[in-house]
Structure 1
Amino acid sequence: MTRPAVPAFAARPVAAVAVLVGVVLTALSGRYGYHRDELYFMVAGRHLGWGYVDQPPLTPFIARVSTTIFGDTVMGLRVLSTLSSVATIVVVALLAREFGSARRGQVLAAVCAAVSGFVLGVGHMVSTATYDLLAWMLIALFAVKLLQTRDGRWWLALGLTAGIALENKYLVVLPIGALLVSLLIVGPRSVLRSWWVLAGLAVAGLIALPNVVWQFQHDWPQLKVAGGISADDGTENRIMFVPLQILQLSPFLVAVWVAGFRRIWRSLPWARAVALAYPVLCVAVLAVGGKSYYALPLLLVLVAAGCEPTLRWVERRRRTAVVTLVLTALSSALFTLPVLPASAADLVIPVNKEQGEQIGWPSFTDAVAAAWHQVPADQRSTATIVTGNYGEAGALVRYGPARGLPMPYSPHMSFWEWARPPDSSTGPVLLVEIERTPIFEKYFRDCNQVGTVHSIVSNDEDGTALVLCAAPAEPWSALWPKIRQYY
């Protein structure tokens, strides 16, 4: 089928918007500190493999590449994350172009993406969601091209992108699944009657195969992690799903993505499957109790489609439109970027707890060091530090050596696999626990709290208990499998 004509791409103004966001993200990237997930990714990057307990290998690999090239600092770690968000903004503008938007509509799409809280938030730090967002936008772009041209070769691009995305996060199966269901409901079903579909699936499967094999060899730990998330947070996730869909992208952009859905449904019948994929995806996420941001990327696709009708409103109310975009940018930056002093972050943590997870890790390590030095000097050679989660362990790996701390151990996620204390470590055990847990402490003898972590903000580690035990209750080789944590 002959490709319909599309407007010229507004490369310069779109690039200017994307670069401006890159500059802002770079300027603010070192303001607070590492996020707990970043501390974990950096340690994971030292244990490169085809998989980890809780994720595929791509994000830890990117973390290692970024720090190797740009420096082992907070800013160096986040360079590739920033570039990923810059690319995401460009792809959103390209989507607007595919939906028929000319220069101004493409620029508006880039601006809307640039000021959205979700794009700024995932672009500020390294997370699996950062690269997942770019992959979803590319999949949407290739899907739109497929539907517009009926050229089955786009399935190869979809398969290639999906395969790479599967090496980052398994969530990519959700938008593809939602798109396939939507195609069966509203068509055009003809794009499914092609050998190119099988070719795309083969490409995706081939790229994802090494991690699938790793998961198989390790008894599918990712399923245990996913089950824990759903069991612990499923109800809350369902209750907060709709409010967070609005807040995390931006309340000011609701009218744009609603206009995008209506425009596709009424005026672009060839793309209806793309619009329907969003509510289908929402139903799937709600059913499994997934997090609200799992469906957010498809809202950006609707934003791209909604910029053309929004322009007509902008032309009549230019001053209001400018004020709205400025307010969107300011509110998004306030809640997702480290623009406030660290001591004032409590003002935004109730809306975005990830801000607090970047504050206080050096002082956390100081508190652990003070507790550690209560262990008699002649017993430290057989003493052990065990943390309750990977963020704490990652912080002690990063900041502990400068404070005279030994390498920590943790039964959480892949830390459990990387190392366990030797059976010769029969001395005191310093437990780092967000909350004291008798079920956990029963594996150790004579446990007493010797310190408390105090943070300047109300983050997860504020109030963490530092508990010193006389010894493990049994050899570590027997104890370690009993305290493993998947969530």
Structure 2
Amino acid sequence: MAQALPPLARGRVLGAAGALALLLAGTAGGYGYHRDELYFRMLPPAWGHLDQPPLTPLLARSLAAVVDEPWALRLPAVVAACLTVVVVALVARELGGGAAAQGIAAWGAGFGVFPLAFGHVLLTASLDMLLWPVVVLCVVRAVRRSPAWWFAAGAVAGLALANKLLVLALLASLGVAILLVGPRHVLRSPWPWAGVLAVLVVGSPSLLYQALEGWPQLRMGQALGETNADEVRVLVLPFLALLLGPLLVPVWGAGLVALLRRPAWRELRFLPVALGLLVVLTVVMGTQPYYPLGLLLVLHGVGSVPVAEWAARGRVRRGLAIAAVALDGVVAAVVALPLVPLERLGGTPVPEVNQLAADQVGWERYAEQVRDVAVDAGADVVIASNYGEAGALDRYGSGGVPVVSGHNALAALTAPPPAADVVVVVGGQYGWTQRFFERCEVRDRLDNGLGVDNEEQGVPVAVCHDPLEPWDTLWPRLAHLD
């Protein structure tokens, strides 16, 4: 039986959450929309999309219908980041951590590099950052306190399926880890299977959509793997040090060691094994290197307990612990948030180390360039190579010219008019689509005017005439997943 929990350190935990809320709210309007936000606000309400479960796009579109500005779309990300702070502090408390441990857990979790980045921009990862630690906390409580928590873990995981099917990788890692190192006796109870049932029931809309549509998320994952795998497989292990920041590696590292060495925590030894399995799955999938973040946040909460005990043994140690968390937070804020003035951003290394920052720059100017070319050419349609370009034109206007894209879900939601003869093609897809037209001419190249090198910078804006095939034949050939 687990011991009674120490009091919740409300001042330190809520202080960290409040400071994070102020910082994220104060910077939420910085730079501009991220490409994914421009995409999400376009997607209509649905049970699912070709590349996305429905939750994050539904939030973005609903908020954009009220206030179509970046800061409004980002409110769910801000809330998720602040709640994550509380959840990670509860992990430390669950393992006996007092006020000091809960403070380290809260401030480290809130002001790590990727928590700040995902709290600033509305991505599917923004909600996963909250939902995954909640699932793991429920599992920990199910093992240590009451088996009824298995049902709660399943219900939260089912909700997470509406955001991203990747939570199944977390569940698989936890389940296999328990089978490998225990405590296996928990699986003899009906409660874990009640948790599985909760996953299936709560997640049934997402699972049913996938089944009826032929599991498009598997095709999407395969496409991402083909594009990203070589880079991701090199970056996964270094990213473990970068997800929260290098100065916090000793904290979650202490959690890993303590889980393996402390007899009182023996029943939770599946957590380090689950992290290893999740890293292996991330390497195998080769899609994105940040997938272990949710589980790493839990291990940060665990590690806050031995680190607080270490820091309590002297004033110098306590100062070092505070300095490490504070310095990590300051560096993370500069890298992850729009603190560098926009006009100076291109002269700093921030866009190179933080792709999210680069992808928030230039959309209004890009849309203006495309609009000028389309209106001047008397275009019948604009074909955007990716959903960021399509989303920017949808948000900032295309001069009345229809905008379509074959990228991901937009391929099924948009299509050129059957009689379109004069076509503006924007972006990298132009290089191989020009052969489908009688003639093409590059009229401009996108330039954000800030020297920020992102995916759009320098790509062509071309005018093409007279497609060589009917659009109902040509359009499927322009569709692409990535």
What TM-score do the two structures reach when normalised by structure 2?
0.95
Alpha carbons 2:161, 2:167 under 8 Å: kept? yes
1:214-246 deviation line (CA, Å, top 9, x unaligned): 223333222221111111211111111112221
Shift of 1:356: 0.7
Shift of 1:68: 4.6
Greater than 6 Å deviation, 4+ residue runs: none
Instruction: Determine helix, strand or coil for the equivalent of 1:448.
Output: strand
Instruction: Determine helix, strand or coil for the equivalent of 1:422.
Output: coil
Shift of 1:435: 5.9
Which residue of 2 is the match for residue 260 of structure 1?
255
Match of 2:439 among 446, 449, 452: 446
Which residue of 1 is the match for residue 381 of structure 2?
384
Which residue of 2 is the match for residue 12 of structure 1?
11
Match of 2:425 among 426, 431, 442: 431
The letter for the 2-side match of 1:148 is R
Shift of 1:441: 2.1
Alpha carbons 2:104, 2:325 under 8 Å: kept? no
Which residue of 1 is the match for residue 230 of structure 2?
235
Alpha carbons 1:15, 1:90 under 8 Å: kept? yes
Instruction: Determine helix, strand or coil for the equivalent of 2:290.
Output: helix
The letter for the 2-side match of 1:357 is D
> Are 2:293 and 1:296 aligned?
yes
The letter for the 1-side match of 2:11 is R
Alpha carbons 2:178, 2:270 under 8 Å: kept? yes
Shift of 1:320: 2.8
Which residue of 1 is the match for residue 126 of structure 2?
130
Alpha carbons 1:422, 1:477 under 8 Å: kept? no
The letter for the 2-side match of 1:24 is L
Instruction: Determine helix, strand or coil for the equivalent of 2:129.
Output: helix
Hey, what's the Cα distance between the residues in 1 that align with 2:279 and 2:52?
A: 22
Which residue of 2 is the match for residue 109 of structure 1?
105
Hey, what's the Cα distance between the residues in 2 that align with 1:479 and 1:281?
A: 41
Alpha carbons 2:375, 2:401 under 8 Å: kept? no
Hey, what's the Cα distance between the residues in 1 that align with 2:397 and 2:428?
A: 18
Which residue of 2 is the match for residue 393 of structure 1?
390
The unaligned stretches of length 5 or more in structure 1 are: none
1:324-374 deviation line (CA, Å, top 9, x unaligned): 222211110111100001233232111111101001101001110221133
Which residue of 1 is the match for residue 363 of structure 2?
361
In the comparison of the two structures, how many residue pairs are matched? 473
The letter for the 2-side match of 1:79 is L
* Larger mean Cα displacement after TM superposition, 349-358 or 471-480: 471-480
Alpha carbons 1:144, 1:274 under 8 Å: kept? no
The letter for the 2-side match of 1:32 is Y
Hey, what's the Cα distance between the residues in 1 that align with 2:407 and 2:153?
A: 34
1:280-326 deviation line (CA, Å, top 9, x unaligned): 11112112223210012211111111112212443432333333222
Hey, what's the Cα distance between the residues in 1 that align with 2:125 and 2:187?
A: 29
Shift of 1:15: 0.9
Hey, what's the Cα distance between the residues in 2 that align with 1:211 and 1:155?
A: 21
Hey, what's the Cα distance between the residues in 1 that align with 2:170 and 2:126?
A: 16
- 1:341-356 residue pairs with structure 2 within 5 A? 341-346=341-346, 347-356=349-358
Which residue of 2 is the match for residue 139 of structure 1?
135
Match of 2:49 among 49, 52, 55: 52
The letter for the 1-side match of 2:80 is S
Which residue of 1 is the match for residue 90 of structure 2?
94
Hey, what's the Cα distance between the residues in 2 that align with 1:95 and 1:153?
A: 18
Hey, what's the Cα distance between the residues in 1 that align with 2:38 and 2:365?
A: 15
Hey, what's the Cα distance between the residues in 2 that align with 1:198 and 1:303?
A: 28
Hey, what's the Cα distance between the residues in 2 that align with 1:398 and 1:65?
A: 15
* Larger mean Cα displacement after TM superposition, 34-43 or 451-460: 451-460
- 1:68-79 residue pairs with structure 2 within 5 A? 68=65, 71-79=67-75
The letter for the 2-side match of 1:370 is D
Instruction: Determine helix, strand or coil for the equivalent of 1:87.
Output: helix
Shift of 1:434: 2.8
Which residue of 1 is the match for residue 156 of structure 2?
161
Alpha carbons 1:435, 1:464 under 8 Å: kept? no
Shift of 1:451: 0.8
The unaligned stretches of length 5 or more in structure 2 are: none
Which residue of 1 is the match for residue 373 of structure 2?
371
Hey, what's the Cα distance between the residues in 1 that align with 2:60 and 2:417?
A: 29
Shift of 1:483: 1.4
1:43-74 deviation line (CA, Å, top 9, x unaligned): 11xx11001111100101121333456x2211
Instruction: Determine helix, strand or coil for the equivalent of 2:404.
Output: coil
Structure 1 vs Structure 2 CA RMSD:
1.5
> Structure 1 residues 219, 471: closer, same or farther in 2, change over 3 A?
farther
Alpha carbons 1:238, 1:286 under 8 Å: kept? yes
Alpha carbons 2:385, 2:429 under 8 Å: kept? no
Instruction: Determine helix, strand or coil for the equivalent of 2:405.
Output: coil
* Percent identical residues: 34
Alpha carbons 2:9, 2:103 under 8 Å: kept? yes
What TM-score do the two structures reach when normalised by structure 1?
0.94
Hey, what's the Cα distance between the residues in 2 that align with 1:9 and 1:61?
A: 34
Hey, what's the Cα distance between the residues in 2 that align with 1:447 and 1:208?
A: 48
Shift of 1:3: 5.0
> Structure 1 residues 445, 245: closer, same or farther in 2, change over 3 A?
farther
